Structure 1
Amino acid sequence: MTHVIRTGAEAQEVARKLAASFGEEAARDRERRLPAEELTLLADSGLLGVTVPARFGGADVTVAVLAEVFRSLATADASLAQIPHSHVVFLHALRLQGTEAQQERFFRAASGGALFANAQAERGGRTAADDATTLRPRPGGGYVLTGEKFYSTGALFADWLVVRAVLSDTPVPPGSTGGRPKAVAFLPRDTPGVTVRDDWDGMGQRTTASGTVVLDEVGVDEDQVVPYSPIFAGPTTYGARAQVLHAALDVGIARGALDAAVAQVSRARPWFEAGVERAAEEPLLVQQAGELEILVRGAEALLREAAASIDEAERSELTEATTAAASIATAVAKVAAARSSVEVSSALFELGGTRSASGASNLSRYWRDARTHTLHDPTRWKVQHVGRWLLSGTPPPRHGQL
């Protein structure tokens, strides 16, 4: 029976308790053992339904609460924490563009513990934003969906796949530079013509269940299709919402790595030149630990600021000014989060000493997770947008990565 979470405070408490129970992550990562049992716990906990609007029985938590939920989970298991990312992002697309009937259907499913996984990324386009997967009209109504998607996080365990595709029968809007409009199709995982391969072989985020999704002439009913491109036709926080959760994952990795470093220091031997009894008393090590704590706390504070700015923008009618401010705050947080996760997860070994490099402890997972997840979208472009906004007031572009 899926628990129903009623408040933001309850959502955060449930996330903290789940994170504490995910203590065997090191073994799962080392063996690449996918988190089937843990995902059942996640679904039963009610966390998959916390963004559901109140009129459909959900807690409709703030972005600030949602970011803290993801951060908490990522401190324990960054792979598991990433799996519900696209779940909540596409539920927000449903909120923005879905019909009342579609919202009733899919929000109720989420409240019942159903997991929605993405099928977005493709390898063949000129850029990562290009989609070849196509929804073409089917005689008699509905569509036929054909294509291939990669890095489909959580797809192996999903109840529903959310597939981004081009609408082949819709003309390119005048003046558009984005090609034909896109939509997302909500497909039951066992839909005929859908195949999910367990072929993700990344060095980090090893247990995200990010398989390849093959779509071979898949029949799709009209009520399974939700417009996607119109989300970006006006001021929106859609991209900021997605990105602040990526930042939360990186901040969680950084905090988890620092916690692991502290544990390692308690077991480490001091360097003989320091003249101290314990490694924790070694002055240079103390200095480095302090610097890392400052770095992580800064990233945590920027994450909270970004989430609050999104909530502030959404409290009233969205405007160019409020959504730009939210996107810039989120870009800043994302850059700080990425830097802290990579730096701290590397410095972990300097604090912990040679023993921390043991394969049995598998502490390399923090760095591998950080280095892999931070490749999701380049922070160099976020720095550019921040600089342009600062110097000339140029608002950031509208897309799902900002």
Structure 2
Amino acid sequence: MSVVDIHESAHRIADDTEALEVAERLSRRFATEAVERDAHRILPHAEIRELARSGLLGLSVPREFGGIDVSTEILAEVFRLLAEGDSSIAQIPHSHFTFLEALRFQGSDGQKKFFYTKALAGEQFANAQSERGNKTIDIDNTTLTLTPGGLVLNGRKFYCTGALFADWIVVRAAHAQEFTASGAQVKSIVFLPRDTPGLAIVDDWDGMGQKTTASGTVTLESISVPAFNVVPFTPLFTRPTTYGARAQILHAAIDTGIASAALQESVEQAARARPFFEAKVDTAVEDPLLVQIVGEVAVEVRAARSLLADAARSIDAARLDPTEESTARASIDAATAKVVGARASLAATSTLFEAGGTRSAGDSANLSRFWRDARTHTLHDPTRWKVQHIGRWTLSGTTPPRHGLL
């Protein structure tokens, strides 16, 4: 069943201001039961339906197809706000917007009209990309094979965030026996309705954090695929685009949202904590050592928010004029925001316990969810390699690679 009831239609958001207002309202709403959802792994079916009805899932649809095509800066702030409320919910639509961006670059006019209309109606797209057991993550054993009867899809995907909630599963697959001149696999993405025969979604995600993203397994057995549902993927990386940078800035927004939420929680916990006796002050918030610790984290969080907005503007500039130089700079700026956002999220979610003291470690408060969510999400792709690319760009102007994770 669609995440949006057939008797309802998604709201049409009019402009940037309304988009941010809706995101802030949903953030507050989703935060109210985030503790319970995490503690008992209660999947956010109702919340995802509310997200779909809100109109936020259509924010990136181009104007020529009926959308308002918000800037990357606005979209990143929407994600940051949602992550402040519940970072699991914020992560669920990440692939939705990433695949709609792939459609922008690679889809035919007919495909764009069809799938963008679905997005405006509140239908959600989820990913089936990652695989286990391959030497590296850029290799796909999931194959799209041309047979006398048409295209057939087979494979198994893991970490399929949001698949349980989605109307469409978007599968990355390699074309059987097709390779580029350099020997790399030729790949496409395949848009499948969730009720496609041969497609199964298994709720087996057991992460210590981001518990309610339902990032489980998708199996694909002898699925007959209409050619209309296939969008070329490999050509995305043969020319300058902002595809990878835009995907990464949304991850950075989630990390930064977690950091912002943890810092606010630190303030609330410190207000209730007892001062350490050696400080000789009346309240914990007057303890000069705690003031120093929280002040350091506040600097990191503010830096993350500033770099997030700065990188988003860089991406928007490159989208208007996608040259080798502009898209490379956008990738470096997004990588910088991701590195700083990841560091801020880990720092803020750890300092939270310094601010709250021993009672903050109580299981009933479930404050560990902030750190567990941050640590889990920041593993998505290694920031250590982003620092390498930033360093090479800084020292020698080396252009970062095009592979979707920069």
TM (norm. structure 2) is 0.97
Out of 218, 233, 251, which is 1:213 matched to?
218
Q: CA deviation at 1:357?
A: 0.7
SS at 2:156 equivalent? strand
After superposition, what is the alpha-carbon deviation per residue over 1:302-325, rounded to whole angstroms, capped at 9, x for unaligned? 111110100011122x11000011
Aligned positions of 1:48-63 closer than 5 A = 48-63=57-72
1:249 aligns with 2:257: no
Deviation at 1:20, TM superposition (A): 0.7
Aligned to 1:192: 197
Which residue does 2:348 correspond to in 1?
344
Distance in 1 between residues matched to 2:187 and 2:96, nearest whole Å: 18
Amino acid at match of 1:354: T
Q: Which runs of 5+ in 2 are unaligned?
A: 1-8
State the AA in 2 paired with 1:323. Answer: T
Deviation at 1:180, TM superposition (A): 2.3
Matches within 5 A, 1:88-237: 88-141=97-150, 143-168=151-176, 171-174=178-181, 176-177=182-183, 179-237=184-242
2:336 counterpart residue number: 332
- What's the counterpart of residue 86 of structure 1? 95
Deviations 1:160-213 (A, max 9, x none): 0000000115x3222x24x22100000000100001000000000000011100
Deviates more, 1:282-291 or 1:13-22: 282-291
Structure 2 residue identity aligned to 1:166: A
Matched position secondary structure for 2:207 = coil
Question: Shift in Å at residue 151 of structure 1?
Answer: 0.3
Distance (Å, rounded) in 2 between the aligned partners of 1:14 and 1:256: 18
What's the Cα RMSD here?
Answer: 0.9
Name which of 320, 324, 333 aligns with 2:324: 320
Distance in 2 (alpha carbons) for counterparts of 1:33 and 1:218: 31
Q: Which amino acid aligns with 2:171?
A: V
Choose the corresponding residue for 2:25, options 8, 17, 36. Answer: 17
Distance in 2 between residues matched to 1:217 and 1:279, nearest whole Å: 62
Looking at structure 2, the residues matched to 15 and 138 of structure 1 have their Cα atoms a distance apart, in angstroms, of 46
Shift of 1:110: 0.5
Partner residue in 2 for 1:277: 282
- Inter-partner Cα distance in structure 1 for 2:119 and 2:133: 32
Aligned partners of 1:97 and 1:248: how far apart in 2? 25
**What is the distance in 1 between the residues matched to 2:283 and 2:394?**
47
Give CA deviations for 1:225-276 in whole Å, capped at 9, x if unaligned. Answer: 0000001111111000000000000000000111111111111111111111
Alignment partners' CA distance in 1, 2:185 and 2:316: 31
- Aligned twin of 2:4: none
Q: Give the partner amino acid of 2:311.
A: A
- From 287, 295, 310, give the equivalent of 1:290: 295
Aligned partners of 1:253, 1:180: CA distance in 2, in Å?
Answer: 36
Instruction: Give how far 1:45 is off.
Output: 0.2
Deviation track 1:118-173 (CA, whole Å, cap 9, x = no partner) reads: 000000211011100000013243x110000000000011100000000115x322
Matched AA of 2:102: A
- The Cα shift of 1:55 comes to 1.5
Provide the residue aligned with 1:386 in structure 2: 390
Structure 1: state its 5+ residue gaps: none
Paired with 2:269 and 2:305, the residues of 1 have a C-alpha distance of 22
Mean Cα deviation higher: 244-253 or 131-140: 131-140
Show the counterpart of 1:69. Answer: 78
Q: Give the 3-state SS of the residue equivalent to 1:266 in structure 2.
A: helix
Residues paired across the two proteins, number: 397
